[in-house]
Amino acid sequence: MFSRKMIERALQNVYDPELGVNVVDLGLIYDIRVEEDGVEIDMTLTTRGCPLHDSIAAGVRNAVQALGIEDVKVNLVWEPAWTPERMTDRARQQLGY
């Protein structure tokens, strides 16, 4: 059984290729639910409709599957909308603040 922490650590390897900050520190991951038969993740993106950002969501699923978990469900949610306030201090530091 995988822990939420392990999933989160895997997601720290998925970077927004434009910002150079990982999805966890960016505050894109809203919820991780580890269940018997798989993992379900609620996440958002900084910009709706951008193909680059869409591929980040695919990257989240790839990263969790790489742990050996086959059933991964990624729900893209737009409410509440992402704002820069959701970033961690580390993300802010990486962006120069």
List residues bridging with 40 in a β-sheet.
Answer: 33, 73
97 within 8 A of 43, measured Cβ to Cβ: no
Question: What are the phi and psi torsion angles at 36 (to 5°)?
Answer: -50, -50
Q: What is the C-alpha separation between 40 and 20, in angstroms, rounded?
A: 25
| Smallest gap from residue 35 Cβ to another protein (A) | 8
| Smallest gap from residue 68 Cβ to another protein (A) | 13
Closer to another protein at the Cβ: 68 or 96? 96
| Smallest gap from residue 7 Cβ to another protein (A) | 12
List residues bridging with 34 in a β-sheet.
Answer: 39
| Smallest gap from residue 15 Cβ to another protein (A) | 7
Strand-pair category, 29-35 with 38-43: antiparallel
Binding site for another protein (CB under 8 A): 9, 12-15, 17-20, 22, 24-25, 37-40, 46-52, 54-66, 70-74, 76, 81-84, 87-88, 90, 92, 95-97
